[in-house]
């Protein structure tokens, strides 16, 4: 799969089963970019595990919903998993 925003950094399409880890400062533009990457991946049938440590996980769900995704359905079908590292 091609991943918008970072495909120029890759030598080719990201193979199925790959893991993409992006670390960034919570105030950087990578936060919004990571949501766009996750939403694009989900729209093409990919599976996303989103680890949240800088804000409540409901914020991620809300923003993905605003991007037109059915978060409840994606989570029920295990296409989206939001891991809460923030609450702890």
Query: What tens digit of pLDDT does each residue of 6-58 get?
Result: 777 777 777 777 777 777 776 778 888 889 889 988 998 989 999 988 889 99
Its pTM stands at: 0.77
Rg (CA), the chain: 13
Q: How far is 44 from 1, CA to CA, in rounded Å?
A: 8
Q: How confident is the model at residue 3 (pLDDT cuts 50, 70, 90)?
A: low
Tokens representing 43? 């729209």
Nearest-10 crossing angle of helices 30-43, 57-66: 60
H or E element: which one contains 52? strand 48-52
Paired tokens of 75: 């989570």
């Amino acid at each position: 799969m091609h991943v918008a925003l970072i495909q120029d950094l890759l030598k080719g399409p990201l193979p199925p089963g790959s893991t993409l880890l992006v670390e960034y400062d919570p105030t950087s533009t990578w936060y919004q970019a990571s949501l766009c990457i996750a939403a694009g991946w989900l729209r093409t049938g990919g599976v996303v595990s989103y680890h949240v440590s800088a804000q409540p996980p409901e914020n991620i769900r809300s923003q993905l919903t605003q991007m037109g995704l059915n978060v409840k359905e994606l989570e029920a079908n295990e296409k989206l998993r939001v891991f809460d590292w923030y609450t702890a």
